[in-house]
Chains A and B, each alone.
Chain A
């Protein structure tokens, strides 16, 4: 199940370290490292060892099995493409991180990946292996906020930078935020504030909604955010909230409760295969189209898996949809490059993986250092930087990227221009207008060293 791309990197690096000891001062780069070694003593598990060879390693624990397997595989492809572009000076990568030069800070970048199955303990185990064997200097993973929260704590302890991949919980950069964790993607509160006004405008006030919630931090915080918005701003009422475990197959009991609740809307917070199966079964039970389905935080490719007969007319909030290429030139470059390599158009996960790595490369090269506090401080300058969807910035207070939220509506089959043309872009919502105050969810970042 696990795929370790390189296991002999350590011995090669050891050999390089020995030879570098003699020749280091002779080169400019070596001189810099020598100076760093003086005023930047050993820190955590992989500084400075992880930055001393000719290659630096990034570790990705992504779900390749289980409920989020489809999204994890897509995410990993985005990451792999980013690494390829970093090492080969691709023009898209140069646009996002101009100082990338056949790698970062004079070193090639290599990605190590393995299956997390969206389970926190498995993600930690995998990452621990990457640290022990390859001295990774940055980590990513998640696609489950339970993993992201666990990895946050692990990153802070090990003093290794962690970029959450898809993670929708308010807690990831809220109460569970850490100095060493960063998040590029959107999450529950942002999407609630972005899709909420559109729902109230479209469907009116004082409506009755049934929620379906996966039973972990992402599900609970997103349901709370969406419900808060609709209750306060639209007078909507939550008539039932059906909480199911991650990986549920048969939703019949939950759907039966919803059928008896008198709801007019089915707000499905489930994600990944849970969203696919629950939506399909809601249709089987006749709840769709009797109730209006809403997907407040959604994988756009649910349409590919669940069928357009379920998603047409459905409002959903997401991070990225490939037709944004019509508006953003960098998105177009990304979609074309990805499509050429993998044969399909990239999903949200791929975009998230790609941009997270591009932003990491930018910070490392701008800082001119791998020393974690230097890189973190570069990030915390909060500079306006490019993304695939225009300029964005990371908030220094909670390490959350302030970026657009995309609201889409499902197309009918007859309106699809190709077999992946599932959604119309309804609105591109300015992230700054829908993000909560940095301290609203109790973020306290912790120490640099």
Chain B
């Protein structure tokens, strides 16, 4: 079934999937790069974004409000998480951080299951992005096309915040030398709380904009978390451009492999990750990592 139409279709599929993985991973990698926390609750935050957006949509029937609600709610959850729990774990061993964030992911999923049951929930795409678009070489759901644009804008905004604003500068300086930044009279820890909130918001935003494509269920975060981590490892832990590159590579590997044999797509993704770890342990664009 490998013909030009199918190849182009899968190439495009990989781009959309890759963009989504890039956006989710960017949040994970910002948090790790800045705070050194491997947040295993990141997938659950993605799921929470989907549910918060769905709930907002049920009341408002507005896609825009749903997206805003999903992103902001998860940002608030992220800030509370950081203030109440995570900040006590900065100086603790990595395994403590992993356990506490893993525990939080279970708590979030079970809370959602308790309140909303296990039936999956989805927000319909806005009317303007409904239906199918004929792209010549393939027909494609219009919303998935729109998603590509939405994600590109979101990534640009994130990039701008991190690399073109004062906050971004403090964040990046804080990563290098938090003591020096602190001595300049800047409260690094407040900035760190904000960073956790922004990272969480990237997950929440991804969840709600992805909801029209894949209906959300309490377990939605589990599946995406694994792929997100693979993306971060391939791109380089802590690297924002790496998350984007890793996401696109992962999306294409999954899609193009499935053209030959879908059963091998996840295996090929892990093969790629292993190769990167063997030949470039810090990931393709990482500056920190295992050596």
Contacts and interface: CB of A to CB of B under 8 A. Distances in A.
A257 B213 contact: no
B103 to A, nearest CB: 12
Contact of A73 (B9, B118, B141, B220): B118
B266 A252 contact: no
Contacts, number: 105
Contact of A284 (B10, B213, B220, B263): B213
A252 B132 contact: no
Chain A interface size range: 35 or more
Given A249-B223, A280-B122, A281-B214, A256 B266 contact: no
Nearest to A67: B219
B263 A243 contact: yes
A260 B5 contact: yes
Interface string B1-38: 10101100110010011000000000000000000000
B263 A66 contact: no
B218 to A, nearest CB: 7
B11 to A, nearest CB: 10
Q: Which residue, of A70, A244, A248, A253, has the highest number of chain B Cβ atoms within 10 A?
A: A253
Interface in A267-285: 273, 276-277, 280-281, 284-285
- Main secondary structure on B side of the interface with A: helix
B206 interface: no
A73 B219 CA distance: 15
B262 A257 contact: yes
A44 interface: no
A277 B9 contact: no
B3 to A, nearest CB: 7
A257 B10 CA distance: 8
A65 interface: yes
Nearest to B3: A260
Nearest to B5: A260
A273 B217 contact: yes
B265 A250 contact: no
A337 interface: no
Nearest to B7: A260
B223 A276 contact: no
B143 A276 contact: no
A260 B1 contact: yes
Interface string A302-313: 001100000000
B165 interface: no
Nearest to B132: A286
A70 B118 contact: yes
B17 A252 contact: yes
Interface residues of B, number: 43
B246 to A, nearest CB: 17
Given A250-B214, A281-B214, A69 B139 contact: no
A304 to B, nearest CB: 7
A17 interface: no
B13 A253 contact: yes
Q: Which residue, of A256, A261, A286, A305, has the highest number of chain B Cβ atoms within 10 A?
A: A256
A305 B218 contact: no
Interface string A144-162: 0000000000000000000
Given A245-B266, A273-B120, A257 B132 contact: no
Interface string A350-385: 000000000000000000000000000000000000
Given A69-B118, A250-B17, A257 B263 contact: no
A242 B265 CA distance: 12
B220 A249 contact: yes
Nearest to A239: B1
Interface string A221-256: 000000000000000000010111101111011101
A259 interface: yes
B276 interface: no
B19 to A, nearest CB: 12
A1 interface: yes
B217 A256 contact: no
A53 to B, nearest CB: 33
Contact of B223 (A215, A240, A247, A253): A247
B65 interface: no
Contacts of B119: 70, 304-305
A261 B214 contact: no
A406 B16 CA distance: 40
B289 to A, nearest CB: 28
A284 B129 CA distance: 11
Contact of A253 (B109, B143, B144, B254): B254
B139 A249 contact: no
B262 A1 contact: no
A305 B219 contact: no
B113 interface: yes
B218 A215 contact: no
B276 to A, nearest CB: 22
A252 to B, nearest CB: 5
B262 A276 contact: no
Contacts of B219: 65-67, 69, 247
B191 interface: no
Nearest to A287: B139
Given A250-B213, A253-B254, A277-B120, A260 B132 contact: no
Contact of A277 (B1, B6, B215, B222): B215
Given A65-B219, A277-B120, A281-B213, A252 B262 contact: no
B138 interface: yes
Interface in B212-240: 213-215, 217-220, 222-224
Contacts of A281: 213-214
B13 A256 contact: yes
Q: Which residue, of B3, B140, B218, has the highest number of chain A Cβ atoms within 10 A?
A: B140
B259 interface: yes
Contacts of B3: 260
B138 A256 contact: yes
A67 B119 CA distance: 10
Nearest to B110: A1
A280 B224 CA distance: 19
17 contacts: A66-B222, A67-B219, A245-B266, A249-B224, A250-B213, A252-B255, A253-B10, A253-B13, A253-B265, A256-B13, A257-B6, A260-B5, A273-B217, A284-B143, A284-B213, A286-B141, A305-B120
Given A273-B217, A284-B141, 14 more contacts: A69-B217, A69-B218, A243-B263, A244-B263, A247-B223, A248-B223, A249-B220, A252-B16, A253-B254, A253-B259, A256-B255, A260-B138, A277-B215, A280-B215
